[in-house]
A = this chain, B = another copy of it.
Amino acid sequence: MSILIVGSLAFDDIETPFGRSDNTLGGSSTYIALSASYFTDDVRLVGVVGSDFEDRHFRLLQSKSIDTKGIQKVDDGKTFRWAGRYHYDMNSRDTLDTQLNVFADFDPNVPHQYRDAKFVCLGNIDPELQLRVLDQISNPSLVICDTMNFWIEGKPNELRKTLERVDVFIINDSEARILSGDPNLVKSARIIRAMGPKTLIIKKGEHGALLFTDNGIFVAPAFPLESIYDPTGAGDTFAGGFIGHLSRCGEINDIELRRAVLYGSAMASFCVEKFGTEKLVSLDLLEIEDRFESFRELSRVDY
């Protein structure tokens, strides 16, 4: 089924204890789309880039069957740029530079042929823009939304309005605690789900993820990796694998939501193994299914 993805496209300069990668293709919608592209041929991307976004970047996305007609190109502007440095424990990072460039005036205009999309994935952008996207979609089956502390603290009312129209909300543990005002994640989840999203995913980085639905809690393990080279984009890649699986199987129930969390986790575990999107552009389905099986095996008790 069709997936509409809205978010940033960017060029990143990334530094980790294992090396650096400059001017590498990034942005939330890039990671989400690449990750979802392994599960469906109908990925539609809405975003904005500048004149420095070259044909080869478009071709890369198109080679994964990602529809790029929704990417606005501003010829007298430059693409969003981010530079960051990760520390040894990989859980903390310093943002060295942020240049919003054309992203500062981004007004997501969803092309007419995109508006019947069944699955909508709102990447981490201004909640007002997320709402404007939803106003343009005719009848989505499932709306998934990501956000960050910057919006939770800076635009709380706008975020609340967006959340009323969201089915699946994906955030990390510290964001959940700030949004709910409660340090306990089980209580946090109850408070946040009362804001609208019936399904909530709380990501805990190297400690896995929690899925909260009306029917209970699912605890997904993280893959015990020996080496993490670059965590950039792992959260977006998770979202892409999650929505990708749901769109592929076409069913939304607790069993498929649990499986979707594991597919998201599997995709994220690949992402961090190389710099930027390097690993994400060179996977095949067999590897993905293998990693999914390894995830299942990790927490299996019944044989």
A300–B222 Cα distance when bound, in Å, is: 15
Instruction: List CB contacts (< 8 Å) of A214-264 with chain B.
Output: 216-222, 224-227, 255, 258-259, 262
Instruction: List CB contacts (< 8 Å) of A155-197 with chain B.
Output: 183-187
Question: Closest residue of chain B to A216, judged by CB?
Answer: B297
Q: Which A residues have a C-beta under 8 Å from some C-beta of B?
A: 88-89, 183-187, 204, 207-208, 210, 216-222, 224-227, 255, 258-259, 262, 296-303
How many copies the complex holds: the figure is 2
Residues A88 and B299 in contact, CB atoms below 8 Å apart: no
9 new A-B contacts, CB < 8 A, other than A89-B183, A218-B299, A218-B300, are A186-B224, A186-B226, A210-B224, A216-B297, A218-B298, A219-B298, A255-B301, A296-B301, A296-B302
- 8 residue pairs, one from A and one from B, having the closest CB atoms: A219-B221, A299-B299, A207-B207, A219-B298, A186-B224, A186-B226, A219-B299, A296-B301
Cβ of A266 to closest chain B Cβ, rounded Å: 12
* Chain B residues with CB under 8 A of A184: 226-227
* Chain B residues with CB under 8 A of A89: 183
Question: Closest residue of chain B to A220, judged by CB?
Answer: B299
Cβ of A112 to closest chain B Cβ, rounded Å: 39
Question: Closest residue of chain B to A189, judged by CB?
Answer: B224
Cβ of A286 to closest chain B Cβ, rounded Å: 19
Cβ of A268 to closest chain B Cβ, rounded Å: 15
* Chain B residues with CB under 8 A of A224: 185-186, 210, 217, 219
* Chain B residues with CB under 8 A of A218: 298-300
Residues B207 and A303 in contact, CB atoms below 8 Å apart: no
